[in-house]
Structure 1
Amino acid sequence: MKEEEEEVEDTEREDCWRVASRSSMDPEIWSRLPEHLLERVLSFLPLKTFLALRSTCKHFNSLLYSPSFTHSISSSSSSFILLAHPQSLRSCPLYNTVGNSWSTDLPLSFPACSTDLLSSSSSNGLLCFSLLNSSCFLVCNLLRRSLRRVNFPARPFHFEFLTLISTSDGGYKLFALSAKGSSNNALIYDSNRASWRRFPGFNPTLSENYHQKGVHYNGRLFFTTPEPFQVVCFDLESCRWETSAARLPDERLTFVRLVSDEDRKLYLIGGVGATGISRIIKVWEMMITEEGGGEGWTEVETLPEMVSRKFLSVCYHNYEHVYCFWHVGLICVCCYTWPEVLYYKVSRRSWHWLPKPPSLPHKWSCGFRWFSFNPQLSPTP
């Protein structure tokens, strides 16, 4: 009797499985799936899988223009550190900081004229390139395969510190300094107005500090000047220059750089030493002081001595080659002449090396430029 009951149960399971199998593949059922549920399911796909899937039919490709879908997939997209090099823009190595691996098969499509482009800035899924032999920039969303050509208003075409800034209304701004001869101007492009505005520059010497782009923090763009070092900022609301009241934290600084924690915190990275030679690298955070509510620098980290020695040796103590940027909880310290990234993980207070790409051509000896790249579908150039 027991054996007969078990046989009946097995038969019922098989029948249920057959019905479920037919139902799961039944187009009559899946075709009635509400659009918002389908978008939600597809938004959980890995970024690489979705980019390949969208070429299978017009419907999937049309999801690129669905506001609800772009919001969902943007919140779960992978995060990359992108290496751009003047000798190759079509094969930019991408390091996936979520999966801790190099991505070589993410199907990103660069503009057709990429051989004439120089990578300049990135923000919120957008990349900005300067176009060689032409007085314009290209702002691109590589996932949407869309771009906008922005003509630079100054002649001749000369600029420093190109900084791409995402705005809360979904647009963006471009900030550039143009210093040629006696002319010294700050220029701002607003994507919503599709026009440039021109303002007086801070000081002609600021444009000589080309390794420090503008760092967006608290509605202002912060810069560092060449020696004697100084932190200055441009208020994007009042469009006026200001000198930071916060005194630099050490008189023995040999170089200084700034990064912003996605507009929440401002960090200063500097070399400390003597006679212009760095012995150690430190990190400070800008804090509001209790006395008078002013701004001041508080030390948060000192780079271990052995790691400092390695980094300072690979840049040959030529600090003009050193630059920094923020990437999803990481303070990245880089050198134009070295294909590795030194980064500080703020949450764990630990230092690490991002190794050079496994397929890096030997002919690439300098010009290494790293960017924070967070692919998103929502921003439109």
Structure 2
Amino acid sequence: MDPRIWSKLPPDVVEHILLLLPLKTLLNLRSTCKAFSSLLFSPSFVSKHSPSSSSSSSPFSSFLLLSHPQCPLYFRLYDSNLSSWRTVSPSLPFSSSFSLASSSGGLFCLLNPSSSSFIRFQGFHAVLSDSCLQQGTFFHGGLYFTTPEPFSVVRFDLESGKWERHVAELPPQLTFVRLVSDDDGEGKLYLVGGIGADGICRSMKVWELTSDGVWVEVVALPEIMCRKFVSVCYHNYEHVYCFWHEGMICVCCYMWPEILYYSVSRRSWDWLPKCPYLPLKCSCGFKWFSFVPKLYASV
């Protein structure tokens, strides 16, 4: 490798590359430089290189990625491990006509609206909203969607290609509903919903779907945080979307540049620090994604 390229690699990338090498090669690298010698015998590196260590663990940081139409060629990344922001400008051959559509498995999916084509699955076109904000949640071999009022959950089976309505009864007095599934291997489906009347959200709660097919309440959002979130949305809950990120349920709004998140392990709510790199007059269109880099990402 060109030494100029090697010297510019971030330390976590260098460490991950070394983790892929066999032990004999690592021992030969001891005399290369003091930095390598110190790293190779550090307790953290030895534990990661150990055969007993989990192959699913990643030495990379995980990021919350913010995309905005006013800055199409720049991504704002929040490092979940270091609790810090950074700005990245990908060196990719695309123009401002492309937008970031999704992030999964260490890959970005870029969308060109002028040249994209989609397959429309028949069966529930009259039930699902045509809103571009409608997103499916993958869980147990299917895509789960929530319908407009009267709220319900429908599922598209990816193997059979058929739609079916989920039979679990939803909690009462819902003003909006969103679905989130964890991708940490535990196989849990969560429902995030507002509780109120006449379309006005007075509280927000999270439920978990049990093995018996019943929604069980997990936690409620504190009142003061709920007031802020409702004021951000202006009671327009179509702009609310949710996703899973490294043990957190993230609740976002296209109108607001902040993330409200619930840590499942700590059982606590919090706001993500506001990005300092956004333009002062940044309007709506804030799109957040979970991004976990991988050296080997299958396409």
For the superposition of Structure 1 and Structure 2, which TM-score range results when normalised by the shorter chain?
Answer: 0.7 to 0.9
Name the structure where strand makes up a greater proportion of residues.
1
Structure 2 CA distance, aligned partners of 1:121 and 1:218? Answer: 20
Q: Give the 3 Å change call, closer, same or farther, for CA 338–260 of structure 1 in structure 2.
A: same
Q: Give the 3 Å change call, closer, same or farther, for CA 210–286 of structure 1 in structure 2.
A: farther
Structure 1 CA distance, aligned partners of 2:92 and 2:56? Answer: 23
Q: Give the 3 Å change call, closer, same or farther, for CA 204–119 of structure 1 in structure 2.
A: farther
In the other structure, the counterpart of 1:76 is 59
In the other structure, the counterpart of 2:125 is 203
Of 150, 158, 178 in structure 2, the residue corresponding to residue 236 of structure 1 is 158
Q: CA deviation at 1:74?
A: 7.5
In the other structure, the counterpart of 1:256 is 177
Unpaired runs of 5+ residues, structure 1, are 1-33, 42-70, 136-151, 155-177, 179-184, 187-199, 290-294
In the other structure, the counterpart of 2:107 is 126
Provide, for residues 42-78 of structure 1, a one-character-per-residue CA deviation record: whole Å limited to 9, x for no partner: xxxxxxxxxxxxxxxxxxxxxxxxxxxxx97972111
In the other structure, the counterpart of 2:43 is none
Aligned identity (percent) is: 55
Q: CA deviation at 1:35?
A: 4.9
In the other structure, the counterpart of 1:270 is 193
Structure 1 CA distance, aligned partners of 2:263 and 2:249? Answer: 7
- The answer as to whether partners of 1:212 and 1:258 remain within 8 angstroms in 2 is no
Equivalent residues, number:
252
Relative to the length of structure 1, the TM-score reads 0.62
1:372 partnered with 2:295: no
SS of 2:238's equivalent in the other structure is: helix
Q: CA deviation at 1:355?
A: 2.0
Provide, for residues 67-95 of structure 1, a one-character-per-residue CA deviation record: whole Å limited to 9, x for no partner: xxxx9797211100000111213221100
Q: CA deviation at 1:350?
A: 0.4
Aligned counterparts, 1:1-381, within 5 A:
35-37=21-23, 75-104=58-87, 109-135=90-116, 152=117, 185-186=120-121, 200-250=122-172, 252-262=173-183, 264-289=187-212, 295-381=213-299
- The answer as to whether partners of 1:74 and 1:375 remain within 8 angstroms in 2 is no
SS of 2:103's equivalent in the other structure is: strand
Structure 2 CA distance, aligned partners of 1:39 and 1:349? Answer: 44
SS of 2:243's equivalent in the other structure is: strand
Q: Give the 3 Å change call, closer, same or farther, for CA 246–109 of structure 1 in structure 2.
A: same
Unpaired runs of 5+ residues, structure 2, are 1-19, 28-53
Q: CA deviation at 1:203?
A: 2.4
Provide, for residues 210-261 of structure 1, a one-character-per-residue CA deviation record: whole Å limited to 9, x for no partner: 33311011111100011111100111122111110101022x1000000001
In the other structure, the counterpart of 2:11 is none
Structure 2 CA distance, aligned partners of 1:122 and 1:325? Answer: 11
Q: Give the 3 Å change call, closer, same or farther, for CA 355–238 of structure 1 in structure 2.
A: same
Superposition misfits of 4+ residues, deviation over 4 angstroms: 38-41, 71-74
SS of 2:210's equivalent in the other structure is: strand
Structure 1 CA distance, aligned partners of 2:286 and 2:265? Answer: 27
Provide, for residues 317-375 of structure 1, a one-character-per-residue CA deviation record: whole Å limited to 9, x for no partner: 11011110000000000000101000000101100001221111123111000000001
Provide, for residues 285-331 of structure 1, a one-character-per-residue CA deviation record: whole Å limited to 9, x for no partner: 00022xxxxx1100000000000000010111110111100000000
Root-mean-square deviation over aligned CA pairs: 2.3
In the other structure, the counterpart of 1:65 is none
SS of 2:229's equivalent in the other structure is: helix
